[in-house]
Amino acid sequence: MKENVSIIEIAKDTIKMESNSISNLTTLLTNDFSEAVKLIYDSKGRVIITGVGKSAIIANKIVATLNSTGTPSVFMHAADAIHGDLGLILEDDVVICISKSGNTPEIKVLVPLIKSAKNKMIAITGNVESFLGKQADYVLNTFVEKEACPNNLAPTTSTTAQLVMGDALAVCLLKLRGFTSKDFAKYHPGGALGKKLYLRVHDISSANEKPQVTAETSIKDVIIEISNKMLGVTAVTENDKVIGIVTDGDLRRMLSTVPDFSKLKAKDIMGKNPICIDVDAMAVDALEIMENNDISHLLVEDNGKYKGVVHLHHLIKEGII
């Protein structure tokens, strides 16, 4: 038990230390940050992000974040750059070099090569007085007092600071570009997240059966229609316009209260003014309507004409939930 308490305390201290270092970054922001954001925003090229060791891993993550939010970016390992990959940098590209010390051998070799090509360079470093800090056009200070590692060796707090600075860059650029959820969807078409942003009702309903009866359809035929189409519901239409709905629940209630339904028709048990949704509505909006109204299906319309059904099960199957 004592051991467990000690472990929790170590974890708390680590989190507090990193949290304090992140908060301190707000005091280190200078005009260089604003100018760096403007430089990237106005650039006709890409953002090339480079580093070595743990900084290279952080560089990869920042590249991924920028790409997904509308700023084309490429990772270039600093060691590989000085062995042939330098050709990856094009004339209009902006280069971001990430290094805690700013004095690693690879950075000292790479920086002069970037400057000789006249590419603008942004440094993310914990040492503004380093070789990298003095050579860069703009310096983003990620100084930390101490690593969370008890030996003050393993990059922990410093890499967290680098990551946060990269996120700050990405969010500023995102807002400057007026990047919307629709833009986000273009870069995230896969998985549940992408589907929430781009999947429309039509994409689901068009693949389903289209249960449909008229007001004068007999209950027997209503039951057959619902059974054959296997959606637990049918629309009641007139001239392709929805005038009602019959659900499994309506049929069960009828059977429990009406001894003889042989003469009943759809109009006798249908629900009037059913909730409908437009074919172009987002699937996630269909889910919200179902949840708010405690129902499991919606009738789909296109310019007032009946087009089909979207069921809660379809949304689950598509990963919207």
* pLDDT tens digit sequence for 33-63: 999 999 999 999 999 999 999 999 999 999 9
CATH architecture assignment, domain 198-317: Roll (3.10)
Contact call for residues 144 and 21 (beta carbons, < 8 A): yes
Q: How many CA atoms lie within 13 A of 4 on its CB side?
A: 1
3-state secondary structure of 104: coil
The reported pLDDT for the residue numbered 85 is 86
Every domain of the chain with CATH number 3.40.50.10490 lies at 2-179
- Those residues whose C-beta lies under 8 Å from the C-beta of residue 113, and which sit 6 or more positions away, are 81, 82, 86
Per-residue pLDDT, 191: 56
The mean pLDDT value of the chain amounts to 89
Helix and strand tally (H, E) in the chain? 15, 12
Question: Mean pLDDT, to the nearest integer, of 4-13?
Answer: 85
Q: Which pLDDT score is estimated for 313?
A: 86
Q: What average pLDDT score do residues 170-194 get?
A: 74
The answer on pLDDT for 23 being more than 70 is yes
Local confidence band at 167 (pLDDT 50, 70, 90 cut-offs)? very high
The arithmetic mean of pLDDT across residues 258-282, rounded, is 88
Secondary structure (3-state) at 77: strand
Residues of the chain with CATH 3.10.580.10: 198-317
DSSP summary character for residue 302? E
User: What are the tens digits of pLDDT across the range 228-254?
Assistant: 988 889 999 999 899 999 998 888 898
Q: Indicate the pTM of the whole model.
A: 0.68
Which is the CATH superfamily of the domain at 2-179?
Glucose-6-phosphate isomerase like protein; domain 1 (3.40.50.10490)
Tell me the chain's radius of gyration from C-alpha atoms.
30
297 annotated to bind ligand:
no
The encoded tokens of residue 12 equal 């708390």
Structure tokens at 71: 């700023």
The residue-averaged pLDDT of 104-122 equals 93
For the CA atoms of 109, 112, 118, 119, the dihedral, rounded to the nearest 10 degrees, stands at 40
Q: What is the pLDDT of residues 90-105, one digit of tens each?
A: 999 999 999 999 999 9
**Amino acid type, 284:** V
252 vs 184: which has the higher pLDDT:
252
Q: 């301190």: which residue's tokens?
A: 24
* pLDDT value, residue 83: 85
H or E element that contains 270: none
Q: What is the pLDDT, as a whole number, of residue 250?
A: 86
For residue 93, the model assigns a pLDDT of 96
CA–CA dist 240, 72 (Å, integer): 48
Kindly indicate the confidence band of residue 188, based on its pLDDT and cuts at 50, 70 and 90.
low
Range 121-138 average pLDDT: 96
